[in-house]
Structure 1
């Protein structure tokens, strides 16, 4: 039986330019408003047999607000960014420009002392490959955009550098179907999203 895994990107807790590595801030009012604006379109995913989320406060809050009552999965945590945790990309670049360049260029690099991009993609892919097949094989997982990008790179067996070319918008839904080692990306209609800078 094939699985159908739909990833829902957590609502934002800040503007895009203020996004931080391993951001553990809760949803702000704008994030809550965004969830309420698209809840009607995402609510049907609560019928999935298995419902999961990343351990971040905003992923848990997004899943709860959508009625999913998700189970936290540590394997769906964001990439371990070591000493860059809590920094924006701009802040890390200002402090360690050569290290950031090395990290962006080499998927095996860990100049921050944390997890490499390749290890992150492999971890998230391992989670995807070990999902149990439920009665109908439907799963929903609310996760950080970085986690969803990693899952897509893994599912498509794309080069790790593809990670940087995938844009996952807050509260977007992305579905992969298949089974361990053989995944397909499925495009579906996405709910309209309120503009936010």
Structure 2
């Protein structure tokens, strides 16, 4: 018994340099434009039996714009960044350089008062492991890039530091196949890793 979970990274809500921790902003103009350009290749994924999304405005808007009508899942929320929420990495680094260094070096640390990277990866992994494993079943997830990165680290049983080396572009897709505790990365067309 196995299931295929295809992740679609939410469209952008800001430029890369303006990205903020735990951001609740909706899609920006560039994000809407990207959705329109990528729709032809992504709309067929709506055939999945189950469709979910992160509870953020941009994930919901991305899923709705693609016709997925996804169900928001609290477990798929972005990492809780505590007092850093709403700030850019540059802003936090200017205010708390030592705390940023500790956060980047130790996946168990949470100097911001929120969730550690290790806890975040475990939360997303637990959600992944509780998906129904109907043989050949398909699940679609529109999520924040951070959630996709956490799912990949968990599924591949990679060291937590690997999280920092995974680049998830807006509207890219990646598929995981398997069942609780036994996941494989699927590359290629039809739900593989593709940049939109």
TM-score normalized by the length of structure 1? 0.95
The secondary structure found in structure 1 opposite 2:6 is: strand
Query: 1: CA distance between counterparts of 2:179 and 2:103?
Result: 31
1:191 Cα deviation from its structure 2 partner: 5.6
CA RMSD in angstroms, aligned pairs only: 1.1
Q: Contact 2:174–2:194 (CA<8 Å) still a contact in 1?
A: no
Quote how far apart the aligned CAs of 1:76 are. 0.2
Q: Secondary structure at the match of 1:147?
A: helix
1:181 counterpart residue number: 181
- Where do 1:29-44 residues align within 5 Å? 29-44=29-44
SS in 2 for 1:138: strand
Structure 2 regions of 5+ residues with no counterpart? Answer: none
Name the SS for the 1:184 alignment partner.
strand
- Show the 5 A alignment for 1:94-173: 94-134=94-134, 136-173=136-173
How far apart are 1:133 and its partner, in Å? 3.0
- Distance in 1 between residues matched to 2:127 and 2:117, nearest whole Å: 16
Counterpart-to-counterpart distance in 2, 1:19 and 1:59: 15
CA distance in 1, matches of 2:168, 2:11: 11
Distance of aligned partners of 1:192 and 1:161 in 2 relative to their CA distance in 1, 3 Å threshold: closer
8 Å CA contact retained: 1:38, 1:192: no
Alpha-carbon offset, residue 132 of structure 1:
1.4
Contact 1:50–1:134 under 8 Å retained in 2: no
User: What residue is the counterpart of 1:57 in the other structure?
Assistant: 57
Task: Give the 4+ runs in structure 1 shifted more than 2 A.
Answer: 133-136, 189-193
The TM-score, its normalising length taken from structure 2, stands at 0.96
**d(CA) in 2 for partners of 1:7, 1:28:** 21
Q: Residues 18-77 of structure 1, C-alpha deviation per residue, up to 9 Å, x if partnerless?
A: 111011000111111100000010011100000000000000000001110000000000
Counting matched residue pairs gives 193
Q: In structure 2, what is the Cα distance between the partners aligned to 1:25 and 1:125?
A: 25
Q: How far apart, in 2, do the equivalents of 1:134 and 1:63 lie?
A: 23
Query: What's the offset of the Cα at 1:130?
Result: 0.1
Shift of 1:160: 0.2
2-structure distance, mates of 1:116, 1:58:
23
